């Protein structure tokens, strides 16, 4: 199982764009269903076809992806409406033995979503990830898979929270966040009505959420709170945005606990250690834990021995978090003892490739 799952996780983390080139983007408004048959109870159902299409909306620093049409992240987990077995789309169809089937049924026994008509519309996206996490634990999958599900749950909350801003201002790279904030700032200045100004300011808060800058996000929200006292619709939108931010942070905190557990393991490959440490650093930053984030980004920077996109991003984020501090020098690689059955591999920086223009 381990050999099957790790490549899938890495593919999800770093190679979404490749699927973009292979799979044509679905036409807007024409989301069809792929047929699925539940390997646990045989239930037949459909799941929306939307696969990662145009990455017009870019990729956040923690690899959350936004496509131009469809919501790949939200569609990425398939759930059986009857028994609630759940998994990432491509791993959902699997052959289980009776013991595994039983373990899944036991894990989802207390799910209040069992027997829904349509999992996609009746189960909140992060709850779908939560069900996949339960099944993953029941199947005794590697910790990295469980971390991935928590990570995906946090993405799902973010994708929903920032949707209006993503539609209005697609961001190809986290490095462009400041440009978009400035652009919206100019629009705010030119806006005719206070209502329009406030709508645009809320977009700014959403862009900061994507950029992972919770301090700036909260400054904008604090400004908006005064206006919201007299504008019930604005208040509803702000409340909903904040609620989703809390959901996102909750999953990020849980992911951090598992990441620490994983990093404490003895069998962590160098490329996995690098990626996990990077995700840990960025998650700490997104939670507003600045000092811990700096410390962890410095740690991951020392593991990056050759130029890569991930290193560029690390340098960018470190420079923002700790301006003027010199970047750490890469450490010499530790000698690895290759196993007899495995081809020794050089530590590589697993990196996300540039999003499609
Ligand atoms: Zn089922």
Give residue limits of the domains in the chain.
1-161, 174-230, 256-332
Distance 101 CA to ligand 1 centre (A): 10
Distance 41 CA to ligand 1 centre (A): 5
What does 169-222 look like in DSSP terms, one character per residue?
S--S-GGGHHHHHHHHHHHHHH-SSHHHHHHHHHHHHHHHHHHT-HHHHHHHHH
What is the C-alpha radius of gyration for the chain, rounded to an integer number of angstroms? 21
Report whether pLDDT(98) > 90. yes
- pLDDT at residue number 26: 41
Distance 229 CA to ligand 1 centre (A): 46
Q: What is the pLDDT of residues 25-65, one digit of tens each?
A: 444 444 578 899 999 999 999 998 765 566 677 889 999 98
- CA–CA–CA angle 101, 34, 62 (5° rounding): 80
Extended strands (E) in the chain: 33-37, 44-48, 58-59, 65-66, 77-79, 86-88
d(CA 170, CA 27): 18
- pLDDT at residue number 346: 43
Distance 84 CA to ligand 1 centre (A): 6
- pLDDT at residue number 172: 77
Report whether pLDDT(349) > 60. no
Q: pTM of the predicted model, to two decimals? A: 0.83
Between 268 and 30, the higher pLDDT residue: 268
Distance 154 CA to ligand 1 centre (A): 25
Tell which residue, 271, 309, 277, 304, has the closest CA to residue 10.
Answer: 271
Distance 261 CA to ligand 1 centre (A): 31
- pLDDT at residue number 69: 55
């Amino acid at each position: 199982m381990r050999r099957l799952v790790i490549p899938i996780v890495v593919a999800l983390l770093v190679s979404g764009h490749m699927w973009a080139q292979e799979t044509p983007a679905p036409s807007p408004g024409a989301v069809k269903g792929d047929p699925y048959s539940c390997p646990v109870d045989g239930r037949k159902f459909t799941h929306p076809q939307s696969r990662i299409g145009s990455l017009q909306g870019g990729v956040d620093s923690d690899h959350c992806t936004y496509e131009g049409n469809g919501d790949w992240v939200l569609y990425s987990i398939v759930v059986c409406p009857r028994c609630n077995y759940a998994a990432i789309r491509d791993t959902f169809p699997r052959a289980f033995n009776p013991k595994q089937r039983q373990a899944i049924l036991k894990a989802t026994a207390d799910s209040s979503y069992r027997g829904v008509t349509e999992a996609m519309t009746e189960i909140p996206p992060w709850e779908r990830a939560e069900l996949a996490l339960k099944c993953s634990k029941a199947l005794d999958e590697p910790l990295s898979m469980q971390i991935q599900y928590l990570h995906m749950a946090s993405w799902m909350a973010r994708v929903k929270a920032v949707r209006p801003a993503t539609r209005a201002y697609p961001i190809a790279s986290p490095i462009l966040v400041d440009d978009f904030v400035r652009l919206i700032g100019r629009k705010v200045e030119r806006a005719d009505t206070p209502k329009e100004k406030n709508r645009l300011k809320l977009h700014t808060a959403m862009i900061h959420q994507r950029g992972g800058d919770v301090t700036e996000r909260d400054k904008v929200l604090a400004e908006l709170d005064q206006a919201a006292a007299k504008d019930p619709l604005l208040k509803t939108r702000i409340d909903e945005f904040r609620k989703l931010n809390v959901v996102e942070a909750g999953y990020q905190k849980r992911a951090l606990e598992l990441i620490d557990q994983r990093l404490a393991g003895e069998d962590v490959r160098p490329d996995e250690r690098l990626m996990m440490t990077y995700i840990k650093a960025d998650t700490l930053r997104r939670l507003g834990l600045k000092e811990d984030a700096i410390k962890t980004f410095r740690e991951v920077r020392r593991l990056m021995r050759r130029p890569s996109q991930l290193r560029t991003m690390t340098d960018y984020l470190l420079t923002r978090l700790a301006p003027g501090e010199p970047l750490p020098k890469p450490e010499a690689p530790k000698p690895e003892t290759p196993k007899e059955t495995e081809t020794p591999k050089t530590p590589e920086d697993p990196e996300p490739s540039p999003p499609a223009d």
